[in-house]
Structure 1
């Protein structure tokens, strides 16, 4: 079963997905955030770690995702939005030059392989992503490219998912 959980920032997406995985024995949490020297991000990552059960295996990466779920009953990818941000910086040639097609293709290749592996191994996969298209049109070309890629990736994930939930103010609403 593939389940996509989407919503705005701080809408309760991760918490909802985490709560649904409590019934599984072998859970892998795929964390895509990279702290680097960002103190605020380090605090966010630590807060996420503290609320997860110690029995869950955590894998911190944004590539080779399919191999991370080996032996798991369930997996949680948190989150596609951060993963896409990583890809945006990794694959952008210059500050204002974004190859949207290349970035989207790289991201979907990873996500497609993860989904295929989950189906092949009967691992229930939960994917968390942000809904970024409900706000204003960003002024900067890179921000617009990010929003556009994220929107297209979310559409593809929603099509591939068996179930889709939107979290709004902490309340999950099943939309598929």
Structure 2
């Protein structure tokens, strides 16, 4: 199967917090789309005034040809309904989409002062675990079922965008390089996002890992079993 033209590539950009991943993803999207329309899909759900101000600042810095679509939960459906023939979609990010989806099925006291502190942070990095065949330490709510649903939704979205001949740049955090979270929701989040990143990388034509603002092309470095065995 031949590789799509550059403007129609499906790309994944990974990195830790403040690694330069979003900056690189925006540069990649800008170079691929040239001066044509880009649909910027934002999954962030602002929880306070400071976060809302940050959102507005980022939105103002984008080119006039970029349109913003908010999709904190129902990602695929929102993109399909909001898509207007743009040349490329920039999805920033899978990290917060995972957070929102897991939080949507987690019973928490939203009136409590510590509500926001209960939400797994964007850079909640943890050691990678082996793929379980049963839910991770949690029987209610069923985070594992939600994780499977998210993977299927992402696969559906990528397939649909390919049908539209539309490129996609996905941004996500690498969560396999830190400590194991000490609480069940944190571990469910770490595992769900880690496996979702694997799904995204498998769907992508190219994958990059950003460290200190430097993007590394992972698929050019990957081990090829067919060639080496």
TM-score by length of 2: 0.72
Q: Within 2, Cα distance between the matches of 1:43 and 1:8? A: 22
How many residues matched?
A: 175
Distance 1:112 1:66, change over 3 A: farther
Aligned to 2:13: 5
* Alignment CA distance shift 1:92-1:127 (3 Å): same
Q: CA deviation at 1:126?
A: 0.3
Structure 2 counterpart SS, 1:11: coil
Native 8 Å contact 1:65 1:114 kept in 2: no
Match of 2:97 among 83, 106, 109: 83
Counterpart residue number, 1:55: 65
Q: Over the residues paired in the alignment, what is the CA RMSD in angstroms? A: 1.7
Q: Pick the aligned partner of 2:22 from 7, 10, 14.
A: 14
Q: Could you tell which deviates more after superposition, 69-78 or 152-161?
A: 69-78
Aligned 1:156-175 pairs, distance under 5 A: 156-175=199-218
Extract structure 1 runs of 4+ deviating beyond 6 A: none
Secondary structure in 1 matching 2:196: helix
Equivalent residue, structure 2, for 1:26: 37
Residues 1:98 and 1:132: Cα distance change in structure 2 (over 3 Å) = farther
| Paired residues of 2:71 and 2:79 also in contact (CA < 8 A) | no
Deviation string 1:26-49 (CA, Å, 9 cap, x unpaired) is 11000001114x123213312321
Note closer, same or farther for the CA distance 1:80–1:107 as it changes in structure 2 (3 Å cut): same
Counterpart Cα distance in 2 of 1:123 and 1:21? 12
SS of 1:85's partner is helix
CA radius of gyration, larger in: 2
Find the aligned partners of 2:166 and 2:108 in 1 and give their Cα distance.
39
Q: Where in structure 1 are there 5+ consecutive unaligned residues?
A: none
Gaps of 5+ in 2: 1-8, 110-137, 220-229
Q: Hey, what does 2:188 align to over in structure 1? A: 145
Question: Greater relative contact order: 1 or 2 (C-alpha under 8 angstroms, separation 6 or more)?
Answer: 1
SS at match of 2:30: coil
1:121 pairs, out of 151, 156, 164, with: 164
- Tell me by how many angstroms 1:115 deviates: 0.3
In the TM superposition, what whole-angstrom CA distance separates every residue of 1:60-106 from its partner, at most 9, and x where no partner exists? 11312441334011010000000010001112356874412222123
